């Protein structure tokens, strides 16, 4: 390994957030992996409240975990050395190499970047020593002129790695030629020289109609168009941020279970609910207005990075009162992570971890109290159901995998906890988790990924449908995530000039023997 050449690299940058960088990087990870290369994703800095826990207990952006899965490798902190998790008052928790480092305002974070940049370089160097190909994703736009001097995620990374850049624009938003040309104009000459291909993303219709525009783009910038990617539609992979959340999704026509998920201002790890959206007979609604609350069969309060502030938002919006009233009338409620904390009687924050308020009143639907601590708990976990009542009726003994990301502990209540954690980060433990009310219809837990377990998910949904006097339709086939990665890769192979991309990467000499199909 000592004389191994550094990995070849390709970088995907975008004209804006949500242009399609993450999805294209994911596709390239799967394409190169299927072509036989050992592939790693890399994103120097990710700002997201959707995060994931690596096998050794580090925290990274969810999109890099998705890209690692596409590359068929285990996620690791080097793939996303800096994760920014926005909080209230324009602050963000700064997670470096998988661990919280500090909470900073945007200005204060700029001052911190010079000390972080060496760690970013070291993480990328580490991946390049161990893999054949590293697919690098940028953040936002490289042409944010107010941020260029201090940025550590776009052209600074490309220059350091000598990475050829694909610049992606979203035609679905309109003005894609202005996006691409304008971005090129605002780049420095040495940065423009790194851009080796334009990619137009999310196109609907006949691509031949774009001909004059593509010709102009190449003439104006001197950079070839590497591909026009169609709008792929219902790809069933996790979204990176809440911009991708549809207000309503699921089986509208035959829905017998209506799930109302509170769309908190700082909603986190909302991919917890993707499995519910794909169940037959289930409709999932993201609700941010009391007028749209309706009469759900299940209410869910999701995770949040700013628990107390989002709890106050629930009260100010009128949703808190609707939740409490609905629960008293018999509607089940599930709270996950921050949602679990909100369901309790009180939230104590003696160190100012979550807010400037040392004490806040919870919704009072669980007899628990939460204390925020300065140390974050991040683990992958193996879990069992040990209290099969109410929502969990028929689930006694069910085993499932989950992960924890929280900075608080919750305790209290007469009944025993519904879950028992057997391992954390592959280490044996015997730790309780969660709470159920006396009826078993208010459930709180710190476990993300609860609904990923099909048997447990079906039983909970069947229990809810039964309470409504309905029968859940037979289950549809479980989503084949590997097939989804391959479907994405096949679409990109068809519409992207991979010969151009291999050439600018220096892979023109061919690939090793392919792995899989």
Residues known to be catalytic: 337, 448
258's CB contacts (< 8 A; 6+ apart) are 283, 285, 294, 295, 296, 297, 298
User: Which region holds residue 283: left if phi is over 0, alpha if psi is between -120 and 50, else beta?
Assistant: beta
Whose tokens are 């291999």? That residue is 502
Rounded Cα–Cα distance for residues 369 and 391 (Å):
22
Task: Tell me which H or E stretch contains 464.
Answer: helix 454-467
Quick check: helix, strand or coil at residue 134? strand
28's CB contacts (< 8 A; 6+ apart) are 10, 12, 135, 492, 501
CA distance readout (Å), 20 to 6, 51, 190: 27, 18, 24
Rounded Cα–Cα distance for residues 273 and 339 (Å):
13
Q: How far apart are the first and last CA of the chain?
A: 28
Burial grade of 437 (CB within 10 A; 0-12, 13-18, 19 or more): buried
**Chain centroid to CA 206:** 32
Rounded Cα–Cα distance for residues 505 and 487 (Å):
24
Rounded Cα–Cα distance for residues 115 and 132 (Å):
28
Buried b (16+ CB within 10 A) or exposed e, 266-278: bbbbbbbbbbbbb
Q: CB of 418 within 8 A of CB of 347? A: no
Positive or negative torsion for Cα 445, 449, 452, 453: negative
303's CB contacts (< 8 A; 6+ apart) are 49, 267, 268, 269, 270, 272, 336, 337, 338, 339, 405, 448
Please, which residues bridge with residue 86 across strands? 92
Which alpha helices (DSSP H) does 141-240 contain, by range? Answer: 155-161, 176-186, 189-192, 211-221
Nearest to 52 by CA among 79, 31, 25, 71: 79
């Amino acid at each position: 390994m000592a004389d191994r050449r550094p990995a070849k690299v390709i970088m995907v940058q975008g004209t804006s957030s949500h242009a399609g960088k993450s999805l294209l990087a994911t596709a390239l990870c799967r394409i190169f992996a299927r072509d036989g290369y050992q592939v790693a994703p890399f994103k120097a800095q990710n700002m997201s409240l959707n995060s994931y826990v690596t096998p050794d207990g580090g925290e990274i952006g969810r999109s890099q975990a998705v890209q690692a899965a596409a590359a068929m490798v285990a996620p690791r902190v080097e793939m996303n050395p800096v994760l920014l998790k926005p909080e209230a008052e324009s602050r963000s928790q700064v997670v470096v190499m998988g661990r919280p480092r500090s909470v900073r305002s945007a200005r204060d974070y700029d001052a911190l970047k010079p000390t972080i940049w060496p760690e970013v370089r070291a993480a990328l160097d580490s991946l390049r020593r161990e893999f054949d190909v590293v697919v690098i994703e940028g953040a936002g736009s490289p042409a944010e002129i107010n941020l260029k001097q201090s940025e550590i995620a776009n052209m600074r990374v490309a220059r350091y790695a000598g990475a050829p850049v694909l610049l992606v624009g979203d035609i679905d938003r309109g003005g894609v030629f202005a996006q691409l040309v304008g971005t090129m104009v605002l780049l420095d000459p040495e940065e423009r020289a790194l851009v080796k291909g334009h990619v137009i993303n999310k196109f609907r219709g006949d691509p031949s109609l774009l001909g004059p525009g593509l010709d102009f783009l190449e003439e104006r910038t001197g950079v070839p168009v590497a591909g026009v990617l169609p709008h792929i539609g219902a790809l069933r992979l996790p979204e990176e941020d809440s911009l991708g959340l549809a207000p309503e999704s699921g089986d509208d026509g035959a829905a017998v279970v209506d799930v109302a998920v509170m769309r908190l201002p700082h909603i986190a790890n909302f991919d917890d609910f993707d499995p519910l959206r794909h169940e037959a007979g289930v409709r999932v609604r993201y609700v941010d207005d009391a007028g749209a609350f309706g009469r759900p069969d299940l209410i869910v309060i999701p995770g949040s990075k700013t628990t107390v502030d989002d709890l106050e938002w629930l009260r100010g919006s009128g949703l808190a009162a609707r939740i409490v009233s609905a629960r008293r009338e018999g509607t089940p409620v599930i709270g996950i992570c921050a949602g679990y904390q909100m369901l309790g009687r009180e939230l104590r924050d003696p160190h100012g971890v979550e807010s400037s308020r040392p004490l806040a009143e919870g919704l009072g639907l669980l007899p628990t109290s939460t204390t925020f601590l300065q140390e974050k708990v991040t683990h992958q976990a193996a879990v069992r159901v040990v209290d099969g009542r109410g929502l969990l009726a028929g689930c006694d003994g069910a085993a499932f995998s989950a992960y924890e990301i929280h900075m608080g502990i919750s305790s209290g209540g007469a009944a025993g906890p519904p879950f028992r954690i057997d391992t954390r980060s592959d280490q044996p433990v015997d730790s309780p988790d969660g709470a159920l009310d006396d009826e078993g219809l208010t459930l709180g837990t710190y476990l993300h990924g609860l609904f990923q377990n099909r048997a447990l998910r079906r039983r909970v949904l069947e229990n809810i449908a039964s309470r409504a006097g309905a029968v859940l339709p037979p289950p549809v086939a479980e989503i084949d995530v590997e097939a989804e990665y391959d479907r994405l890769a096949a679409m990109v192979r068809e519409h992207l000039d991979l010969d151009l991309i291999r050439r600018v990467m220096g892979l023109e000499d061919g690939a090793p023997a392919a792995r899989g199909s």
